[in-house]
Structure 1
Amino acid sequence: MSLNPSKVAPEPEPEREAGPGPGPEAQGPGPEGESGPPAGPGPEPEPPSAAGQDREPERGRAAGPSAEPPPPPASRPEALRAPRPRCRTDCLQAPLSRAFQRLGRKVGAHPWVFLLLPVALTAVLGTGLMYLPRDGDEDLEEQYTPIGSPAKAERRFVQGHFTANDSLVFSVSRKSTDVPYASLLVVSDTETLLEPDILEEISKVDDAVQALTVTQDNGTQIPYSEVCAKNQGACVPPNPLLFAWKRNKGLNLTAITFPIYSPAGQIVSLANILGGTVLGPSQSLLQAKAMRLQYYLETDEGEENEPSKAWMIHFLTKFGSFEKSLALKKIQVVYFSSLSRKLEFEATSRMVVPLFHLAYLLIILFAIVSCYRCDCVRNKMWVAVFGVVSTGLAVVSSFGLMLYIGVPFVLIVANSPFLILGVGVDDMFIMISAWQKTSLTDSVSERMSDAYSQVAVSITITTLTNVLAFYTGVMSSFRSVQYFCIYTGTTLLFCYFYSITCFGACMALDGKREGVCLRWLEKPGTPGQKCSSFKKSCCLPGSSLQDGWKADIHPMNLFFRDYFGPLLTSTKSKVFVVLLYVSYIVTSIYGCFRVEEGLDLRNLASDDSYITPYFNVEEEHFSTYGPRVMVIVTEVLDYWDKDARQRLEKCLADFENSEYVDEDLTEFWLRERGRDRMKF
């Protein structure tokens, strides 16, 4: 039967205690005969309307001053309240974990398939390494200067409008590209080299260099006289002052002016030819500590030709030996060439390659120490070794693939395996740690499924962030950085793929070994148990029977959990960490203001390279005068117009007034033409 709620008698209310309280009229119905809200559960009262709010003062006045507001409605039970909506944060974690669970189960069920397929893929892609460049002929300017830089556009403009014919008259100041050369810096052991006996030793060195002859494989010989830059049929002298002294050894060395010297009416700039100078009155040269000998060679369309290149390589190879044969007593000589930067950079990169073996050996040793257990079942020593090997397989596969599709292999890419080795091994340790937390009593497929579900988000997110970080480097304006980022990002993708397939299969096979070892340890003397001697050698007695159903906890985890964690959460440690971080930020900001722009070429070569003393001498004695700057007017200019010439002179005067420019060294063909006309 059903009851009509309107006919159910209300329960009697308990009697109130005597005392001050509201009058009887306050307990009765309201002005409109409304009864109070029921005490039991029910729907919440709707908020009062505007009209009801307007009637509240009237109700209060009708009840009198002793009336109290009606008691609030009883709250609903917690079970009847609507649950608050939760913010779902597992939109990526849940599907990714489920996908990795299925993958882990398949890897555990078919480990040999997931092991052999990546190895076969590596064998196929590894054949692309045959396209590695052998000759090392790399254009440093193309790879290590910005793409589309204004300097390159300006040089193309100069080459298109100001062609130079070096067959008759060679002028290095008109060259818009580097001219191939061999250079010597001679430093005197005394205060000055402007002495006849010292100049005699320098002359011996000069004669020995010009006597160098290259014998090629086909028997042809290339003397210096065939490859030198010529001026009216004769080789350009390496040093005009030394050339003048050799022609006239009675030359008055005390009458030399610096930086402009005018022998026989010809203007010669000595700015970058003599270094460590001491000047007297009227710019007279009193002392010179160092001298530069610059041997310019022939070029073919702005680049060194093969004979010139062969002679320079021969010069770099033989100079050290014949310098000793000259038995120099009063001077020190250092040497350099326009090929030295490239050759030393390539040599430094080749020196890095043998270190790969040492790096992989150290990482394997670290992996063995980290994953070794005295427990024969939990021991993951050989699994860690294969994890390092899988990283090497990823390097071979990615490099072979990039070479197949034609991505240039620049020299700095040879350094990327060090970075890849450190980043790629991280996934191995994470997967081994997740495997150690699984139960030994579960099947291999279940354990692989559990381990993969635990590592799904961690290794995927870290791999994506690393790969995206490197692939954003493709937007760099340097081609070498672009190629380095392409190779490294692709290799990290292969590391991720090989970790969840090839290395996972190795873990599954090791899981089967764990099961065999565990059964052998439980019943070592069972007659019906068949185990090979190899399996028995892998199952030495250990503590697996005691905690075979417990997850393995690494001692490092225990250290951070029991010691480092409580220490870090103490008040003193928090204050110390905050102060340490503040000091770190302050030091970093200070270091940012100490950053210096520029590239020191000495850092590109090995510590014992011959270019290091050359740049040391150049910085010490030849740093006063820098490179020459070419100024070109790109618009049409009427040179015969006097006003146009005056505007041009004013423009040159503005350049010469700069603190970085020496006005005495300016060369301008219009000024030279004006001086020649004044002579006549």
Structure 2
Amino acid sequence: MQIVLCDCLSDILVDNSQVESDPVKGPQKMTIIRPQECSVRRPLKCWLYGRLHCLARWTDCVYAGISEIYIICERITTSVVTVTPEMFQRTWQEIETGKAIGTRPLPFLFLSLSICLVSSLGLVLWKEEVDDVQLFMPVDSHVRHDASWVERNFRDEMRFESVIVEAENVLTPAVLASIAELEIAVRGIVAAGHNWTDVCARYLTWFPNVNESEVTDELQEYMKDYEFQDSCIYQSVLRIWASNGTMDNVFKLDQETIIENITHATSHGKFSDVLEKVEPLLSGIKWDSQGYIIGAKATILNWILKKTNRWSPEWELEFIQKVLFSNRTVPHGVKLYAVTTRSYLDFLHQVLQNNKTVLFAGFTLIIVYVVVMLGRFNSVEQRVYLSLLGVSVVGQSILASYGLCFYMGFFWGPIHPILPFLLLGVGVDNSFVIMQCLDNLSNEDKATSVPERLGRALQQAGVAITITSLTDILAFAIGTSTIMPFLRSFCMFAATGIFFLYVFEILFFVSCLAIDERRLQSRRDGCICTVHRNWKPNDCSQRNIQKIVFNKYVGPVMMKTPVKVCVLVGTLLVFALNVWFVFKVEQKFDPMWYLNSESYPMQYNNKLNEHFPEYGKRAGIYLGSGINYFTDKDKLCDLYARLERNPYINQGTLDFWYMKFQNWLHEKYSLPTSEDETMSYISEFLLMSQNGQNYIKDIKFSAFPFGDYNITASQIPIQHILMNTTTEQVKAMESLRDIIRNVNISSENIVSYSHEYVSWTANKIIGDELLRNLGLTICAVAIVTLILIQNLQTSFWVICCVIFTVVDVVGSMYWLGLTIEISTSIMILLCAGLAVDYSAHIGNEFTRLQGTRDEGHNMKSRGVQSGDIRGCDVTKVADIAVEMWWSAIFIGRADQALCHPVVE
């Protein structure tokens, strides 16, 4: 054989004695042609051949190097990782845990119950967190700081009740008369003896500990000259015609008068107060050729209640009844949509109550399923009591894990109720694995004593459930390092719950199994424990349909080459498609998604977005007591100018009281020359001008603003434009923070805050935390699986199945219409944990079985299907009402039960 040696290898291969071995011709002599000799014989052709052979040789070297590295790594891995599983097996065998429990089950039973009792005592320290800021915001976040500042200095005092009236044209005499009847009915609402005037917000509502009776007679007499009005605050288009609070003029209107008055009110600015402006209350306005308003599609009415009034929530219930569920007649085509401050929380509470019903239904289905699958259909081999005790392991784990977490200071959050669903699937799955290992014992082993049988069964089952439990615990333990408090708490509850499942499964369930095996050995009835001396099992009860299906059909069919190809190609195609979908999934959240689409808050929200899209989320710029309204005039004007240029603010809602004060000041007086004079003018503006009275709600005072007082805080109320993505929402928040940083005001005296910022920030964080936790979980599980399963190839495929499952679940979210948000992120983490559980079971079983790969798959179908597939079925039964979990578990089951055995 003759090859060309290029310059780059001339110093390495200089020995002409090197040979290559050919499997047919035997060793071949290698003749090396150096570049100088080659260039003499065939210059160009030789040079090209030389470069090509050089490239080929380098490729061979790289491939050989990778192969050597793979062999070395596998040898090192095998030498290291075989220690751990063998150590587990030796531990289970040498300590003879199964034999010990089988010999004396009662001490272990009482030990398990004692652990549960001591741990569950922590439930007396139950701590439930409902504050969104405490749940979702990291300790050092801007939103947490701003929320705390606003809570201390500018607590909201208002509750908003709104009605949207929709019609072909709401500006007709009939529709306006119907709206007038509605307003009269609302004013007539009485809840617990309190009517509208008792619960409404007034201009004096915002003064601390001040009511009308505390204002001196002299001040009242002085303010009468300036028409001070402490009337109830509400917004309605009917205020154009209302006279002294009565609606008599409305019932006398004709179409021409309506058109003329509405047009005049909108074009000539009859009302200077933002609460009394008409145009923002109308939607779908139509003009004629002469500029007159001739119609509108909808109008919105707002009633404002005092939040601190204890009867306001009760009044809101009556409000909904009067508006939506009364027998009052309305003109044809008129539709009403209403919402109150308490509506969202009421329906959310209803959803949570429905989830409790689902939880109890899930437990019931679990019990029925376990009773059916764990025993056999005859009087002796049925395991009704064992099944109930096996399910009780989940309850014990819940009590113990909750108690331990409360001992450690963690709180109960709104997403924690889904924990029992997770523990149901994992816990009962472990029971099935133990039972399957017991059923798979040889006839010789089954003929031994109960302690011996349990020892041999637990020797295999102990390793399997140890691997899966450890990987699950690790997956959730990583989540405890997150910066989001609720997610940290949830992951701690989940990790401790799975740990106690593992402990109670070994101590409690195996103890119960030992007692039940003694019952079987004495041929006692499964329910009443009477002895059946001449009992023989019926043929039907000895038939395992699931095993027959896998042995005769699924296993052999799956090992056919065309089926293998179809499974692999199908899996890869689905994976590739979902990879594309993953990049199209949006990061978006709206709390209204949790409500039923037919609920009245959801219907109102849909109509609000349809007719009044400019009514975005409310927010505010808050100014502290360190602001000097005399010396800081230029700074405040600069702040207002920057807000006017902000593209994320609905400019129609930007109404800064200080700018209105400056306009009023320029009209009536010269510029003040001192701070005291400025504060005196502010008092006059707020109390003695009708325009100024509307801004009292935006200011907090140290005392009644007459004489000696200070402004402790004030706000610039704004409304954001309608934003549909988390990216836009985050940009809106950051734009306000940039404005605050750029104005020359101390950060201690100015913040921007809205309650909506909590969910906006949480969605931004949860997206980053999801990627972080998934990455760390997959890496950690890969290391642990490699150590415990002792097989590099199997560990690789286990991790691949986990990755495939997560990608397929996230990709399927796109065509299901789901987005990345708080609840779906939790579900993805749970799906990753369940996928690890499935894959580890199958991978561990495959490495344990002997024979060829196809034989291993068939044996695995017989050995794992009852433990793993039944466990999967349990999870699906438990989560039968949770649609996303259905798809996740189905995808995970397809990846692990079909693709995993084929690639192995």
The answer to whether the superposition gives a TM-score over 0.5 is yes
1:649-660 matches, cutoff 5 A = 651-652=642-643, 654-655=645-646, 658=647, 660=648
1:437 counterpart letter in structure 2:
N
Check whether the contact 2:182–2:323 (CA below 8 A) recurs between aligned residues.
no
C-alpha separation in 2, matches of 1:579 and 1:277: 57
Instruction: Determine which of 323, 326, 329 is the counterpart of 1:324.
Output: 326
Change (3 A) 1:406 1:609: farther
Tell me the equivalent position of 2:160.
Answer: 181
C-alpha separation in 2, matches of 1:538 and 1:272: 87
C-alpha separation in 2, matches of 1:507 and 1:610: 52
Instruction: Determine which of 627, 634, 655 is the counterpart of 1:667.
Output: 655
C-alpha separation in 1, matches of 2:267 and 2:509: 72
Check whether the contact 2:640–2:656 (CA below 8 A) recurs between aligned residues.
no
Tell me the equivalent position of 2:685.
Answer: none
SS at match of 1:540: coil
Instruction: Determine which of 242, 249, 261 is the counterpart of 2:238.
Output: 242
C-alpha separation in 1, matches of 2:116 and 2:633: 74
1:155-170 matches, cutoff 5 A = 155-157=147-149
1:94 aligns with 2:74: no
Change (3 A) 1:503 1:607: farther
C-alpha separation in 2, matches of 1:436 and 1:651: 75
Check whether the contact 1:180–1:338 (CA below 8 A) recurs between aligned residues.
yes
Tell me the equivalent position of 2:535.
Answer: 540
* 1:121, distance to aligned residue in structure 2 (A): 5.0
Provide the TM-score with structure 2 as the length reference: 0.54
C-alpha separation in 1, matches of 2:196 and 2:184: 11
1:387 aligns with 2:364: no
1:150 counterpart letter in structure 2:
H
C-alpha separation in 2, matches of 1:640 and 1:281: 50
* 1:373, distance to aligned residue in structure 2 (A): 3.1
Instruction: Determine which of 455, 459, 464 is the counterpart of 1:458.
Output: 464
Tell me the equivalent position of 2:422.
Answer: 419
* 1:145, distance to aligned residue in structure 2 (A): 5.3
Check whether the contact 1:440–1:515 (CA below 8 A) recurs between aligned residues.
no
Instruction: Determine which of 601, 620, 626 is the counterpart of 1:611.
Output: 601
C-alpha separation in 2, matches of 1:510 and 1:617: 62
* 1:187, distance to aligned residue in structure 2 (A): 1.9
Check whether the contact 1:276–1:622 (CA below 8 A) recurs between aligned residues.
no
* 1:223, distance to aligned residue in structure 2 (A): 2.5
Stretch deviating more after TM superposition (461-470 or 599-608): 599-608
Tell me the equivalent position of 1:581.
Answer: 571
The alignment-based identity, stated in percent, is 23
SS at match of 1:295: strand
Aligned length: 547
Change (3 A) 1:113 1:281: farther
Residues 275-323 of structure 1 deviation map (CA, whole Å, 9 limit, x = unaligned): 3434567986443222222222223xxxx4533334334544x4468x4
Residues 352-399 of structure 1 deviation map (CA, whole Å, 9 limit, x = unaligned): 223333212211222233233357776555433431232223223433
Change (3 A) 1:436 1:423: same
Check whether the contact 1:182–1:296 (CA below 8 A) recurs between aligned residues.
yes
1:7-406 matches, cutoff 5 A = 87-101=79-93, 102-119=96-113, 122=116, 138-144=130-136, 148-157=140-149, 177=156, 179-188=158-167, 191-215=168-192, 221-231=193-203, 234-247=230-243, 249=250, 252-256=258-262, 262-264=269-271, 266=273, 268-270=276-278, 273-278=281-286, 285-299=293-307, 304-316=308-320, 318-319=321-322, 323-330=325-332, 331-373=334-376, 380=383, 382-402=385-405
C-alpha separation in 2, matches of 1:475 and 1:259: 56
Check whether the contact 1:391–1:495 (CA below 8 A) recurs between aligned residues.
yes
SS at match of 2:531: helix
2:509 counterpart letter in structure 1:
F
* 1:598, distance to aligned residue in structure 2 (A): 3.0
* 1:110, distance to aligned residue in structure 2 (A): 0.9
Change (3 A) 1:624 1:483: same
Stretch deviating more after TM superposition (355-364 or 86-95): 86-95
* 1:349, distance to aligned residue in structure 2 (A): 1.0
Tell me the equivalent position of 1:26.
Answer: none
C-alpha separation in 2, matches of 1:483 and 1:475: 10
* 1:347, distance to aligned residue in structure 2 (A): 1.8
1:181 counterpart letter in structure 2:
F
Structure 1 vs Structure 2 CA RMSD: 3.9
SS at match of 2:480: helix
2:594 counterpart letter in structure 1:
L
1:514-663 matches, cutoff 5 A = 514-517=520-523, 534-537=529-532, 540-542=535-537, 555-606=545-596, 608-631=598-621, 651-652=642-643, 654-655=645-646, 658=647, 660-663=648-651
C-alpha separation in 2, matches of 1:230 and 1:420: 52
C-alpha separation in 2, matches of 1:460 and 1:448: 16
Tell me the equivalent position of 2:865.
Answer: none
* 1:225, distance to aligned residue in structure 2 (A): 1.4
C-alpha separation in 2, matches of 1:259 and 1:448: 86
Check whether the contact 2:121–2:403 (CA below 8 A) recurs between aligned residues.
yes
C-alpha separation in 1, matches of 2:591 and 2:578: 26
Tell me the equivalent position of 2:476.
Answer: 470
Check whether the contact 2:284–2:298 (CA below 8 A) recurs between aligned residues.
yes
1:667 counterpart letter in structure 2:
D
Residues 195-243 of structure 1 deviation map (CA, whole Å, 9 limit, x = unaligned): 222112112222222222222xxxxx33221221102553444224222
C-alpha separation in 2, matches of 1:642 and 1:115: 76
2:283 counterpart letter in structure 1:
G
SS at match of 1:350: helix
Check whether the contact 1:107–1:114 (CA below 8 A) recurs between aligned residues.
yes
* 1:677, distance to aligned residue in structure 2 (A): 5.4
Change (3 A) 1:643 1:296: closer
Residues 161-193 of structure 1 deviation map (CA, whole Å, 9 limit, x = unaligned): xx66xxxxxxxxxxx7583222222222xx111
Tell me the equivalent position of 2:766.
Answer: none
C-alpha separation in 1, matches of 2:385 and 2:411: 36
Change (3 A) 1:275 1:297: same
1:446 counterpart letter in structure 2:
E
Q: Give 1 or 2 for the bigger CA radius of gyration.
A: 1
Residues 109-155 of structure 1 deviation map (CA, whole Å, 9 limit, x = unaligned): 1112222443455466667667768xx99334543556544234334
Residues 417-473 of structure 1 deviation map (CA, whole Å, 9 limit, x = unaligned): 122211211100000011112322111111111111101222122112222333333
Tell me the equivalent position of 1:41.
Answer: none
More helix by share: 2
1:105 counterpart letter in structure 2:
K
C-alpha separation in 1, matches of 2:284 and 2:532: 75
Provide the TM-score with structure 1 as the length reference: 0.70
2:401 counterpart letter in structure 1:
S
SS at match of 1:334: strand
SS at match of 2:347: helix
Change (3 A) 1:553 1:283: farther
Check whether the contact 2:430–2:505 (CA below 8 A) recurs between aligned residues.
yes
1:424 counterpart letter in structure 2:
G
* 1:626, distance to aligned residue in structure 2 (A): 1.9
C-alpha separation in 2, matches of 1:470 and 1:182: 42
* 1:558, distance to aligned residue in structure 2 (A): 4.9
1:575 counterpart letter in structure 2:
V
- Alignment gaps of 5+ in structure 1: 1-83, 165-175, 216-220, 522-531, 545-551
